[in-house]
Amino acid sequence: MNYKKNSLYIENISIQRIAKKFGTPAYCYSLNKLKLNIRNFKKYFISINPLLCFSVKSNSNFQILKEINKMGMGADVVSKGELIIALKAGISPKKIVFSGVGKTFDELKFAIDKNILLINSESESEINQIKKISKIKRKKIDIGVRLNPNID
């Protein structure tokens, strides 16, 4: 963003022009800034080449997710809806992690059917649901387990 002649611009487009075309309020995203931020973040991990996952919860804009996919990032999702939009944006199931509390049996089954990379489990009951689905599907499922040691 910058100012030119007392007017705010986003990537060389005045906010007045954006307001006239799309109305207000409006969300504006800078693709150039997004790409720069991702490149700058990734450079710190270049020696270990981890899978970096974008939180779909933070921004589920379809075009943003498509760009994140183009830059090689994965997705961290917390619902079936977020998983669906990540897949539609082209993010490989092998780059999707399903986190969050309160996942339903249907959501777990859907994620497993889509062969996502990992399900982060938040409870013993969720692990039991995953085991049940695993037996039904005769499928090995990778899970992460969140531990809370209750240290006061």
- Say which CATH topology domain 51-145 has: TIM Barrel (3.20.20)
pLDDT tens for residues 1-15? 889 888 999 988 999
- Contact between 122 and 148 under an 8 Å Cβ cutoff? The reply is no
pLDDT tens for residues 15-58? 999 999 999 999 999 999 999 999 999 999 989 989 999 999 99
- pTM (predicted TM-score): 0.88
DSSP H/E element including 84:
helix 80-88
| Residue 129, phi then psi, degrees to nearest 5 | -65, -40
Please state, in angstroms and as integers, the Cα–Cα distance from residue 27 to each residue in 59, 83, 87, following that order.
11, 23, 23
